[in-house]
Amino acid sequence: MTPRSSTRRAGKTRLALAAAAATALGGVLAGPAAAQPAAGIPTGGPTSLAATVKARQHMFGFENVNATTGDVRRDRVIASWLTTTTFAVAANGKVFMMDGFINDDDVVTPPARKRTPTGLQELVDLKPEWIFVGHGHADHTDYVANVAYRTGATIFGAAEHCAQMQRDAVAQFGVGQSVKCTSVLAAGVPIGTKAMNLPHLKPALCLNVIRHLHGAATPADTTIPPNGIEFRAGEDPREFDLWGSGPAAYPNVRTTGGPGGDLNILYQFIVPGPRNFSLSIYDSVGPYKELAPNLITEFQAWPATDVLIGAVSGANNPTNGMRDAAIYVRDMQPKVFVPSHHDESQRRRGAAGGSGETWKRNMLTSMTNIGIPAAQQPEVRWLNDPYDYVRPSLLTFDPSSPRWTKTAARPSATCN
């Protein structure tokens, strides 16, 4: 077999698409029938209602999806890890995506098996209503504009992200084509800028956002014991024997990138109700202790977060391990913490190679090192790739559970 790294480099070569850029931040969706797509760009909406039912049952569990309509039960919050920082989420009956990239969306020749159990077409068949961009790098946004254009989903992000998505729509589908995109933060706002109790998802959900920091390397933190971890620690040497490799399924579906790639947004979703269950998600882990200390105050004052899904892989891992992710946990105080972005960037492995326990242990040690008492550390629901891709049972929550009762010290977010 050809080494996966070679096929991925070849499959991810950026095309020189010379389409004019559309810069409008919003816009009327132009349907695929009117498009003049670039070569190799898939078009067309969800395959059928049956395909949508199947995709939603896959992502959210067959027991949670109406087999006739595809509706997802409203009394659960369900998240499925689809690779990297892309999650399919259902909350209060709404279906949406965090980011839009599928690692190893490859064409594999039988009898080899595909490592990633989903791909671009299933994201389209999922028929999300919304897509939220954490930041604009390719391993987070390659598929976003394509899925939004083909389904009519509304993208949310900073103004810079919306401009990027419009460029992607033009590059893929032709001049004059656009996607729906709503800016939740204006262009150029500084780190720490937030927007609270936004109206865009109501009445189903309330939304808070804050601009935070992209991952970066800093010198070793001498105030804590050394706990660095190498990017390939625990890698399974059997990787290429276990899984097939091949060319990218959709090599031309790529973001154009542009200014704002490092611009990061943390999203908080609140399910209105007696508990105001809250889910916060960020897709890059920044060393804000050194580079944006104002975020310490902002996150310590952030409304109660019941479940925090956060990136744990970043440029700081070799020197400081998962200290940065632990600081997010320290300041936001979630009851459950779920890792992300620990599979794609450095091709780390799952439990079979030991990386699951290796990396989880580093996170637990990092929380202790920065001073979070064991009794105050959240439940850590570690995810191992590829074994925990599209396993909704791992991240299914009952928003009415007494577990999500808030305290006076950490009150609920305003949600009205």
Give 319-384 as a DSSP string.
Answer: HHTTHHHHHHHHHH--SEEEEESSSSTT----GGGTHHHHHHHHHHHHHHHTT--GGGSPEE----
Per-residue confidence band for 219, with pLDDT thresholds at 50, 70 and 90: very high
Q: What is the pLDDT of residue 398?
A: 98
CB contact at 8 A, 190 and 292: no
For residue 231, give both structure tokens: 């990017």
Q: Quote the mean pLDDT of the chain.
A: 89
Q: How many residues does the chain have?
A: 416
pLDDT of 351 above 80: no
Q: What is the pLDDT of residue 33?
A: 46
The reply to whether 408 falls in a domain is no
- Measured between alpha carbons, how far is 285 from 283 in angstroms, rounded to an integer? 7
pLDDT of 354 strictly over 70 = no
Helices 355-369 + 323-332 axis angle, to 10: 60
Q: How confident is the model at residue 386 (pLDDT cuts 50, 70, 90)?
A: confident
Residue 49, H or E segment: helix 49-60
Q: What is the CATH number of the domain that holds 321?
A: 3.60.15.10
- pLDDT tens by residue, 250-283: 999 999 998 889 999 999 999 999 999 999 999 9
102: burial class by Cβ within 10 Å (0-12, 13-18, 19+)?
Answer: buried
The pairing of beta strand 379-380 with beta strand 336-340? parallel
Residue 35 lies in a domain: no
Residue 146 in contact with residue 131, Cβ under 8 Å?
A: no
Enclosing domain of residue 246: 4-14+47-403
- Tokens at 315, concatenated: 């440029």
Query: Residue 112: is its pLDDT beyond 90?
Result: no
Write out the two tokens for 112. 């080899």
Copy the structure tokens of residue 321: 């391990």
| Domain-located, residue 390 | yes
pLDDT reported for residue 231? 75
Name the band, by pLDDT with cuts 50, 70 and 90, for residue 356. Answer: confident
Give the pair of three-digit tokens for residue 124: 């389209």
| Residue 35 pLDDT | 55
Please compute the mean of the pLDDT values over residues 230-245 and round it to a whole number: 74
Q: Is residue 27 one of the residues assigned to a domain? A: no
Task: Using DSSP, state whether 308 is helix, strand or coil.
Answer: strand
pLDDT in tens, 3-59: 333 334 333 333 333 333 333 333 334 444 455 899 999 999 999 999 999 999 999
Q: How many domains does the chain have?
A: 1
Is residue 396, in this structure, part of any structural domain at all? Answer: yes
Mean pLDDT over 367-372 rounds to: 97
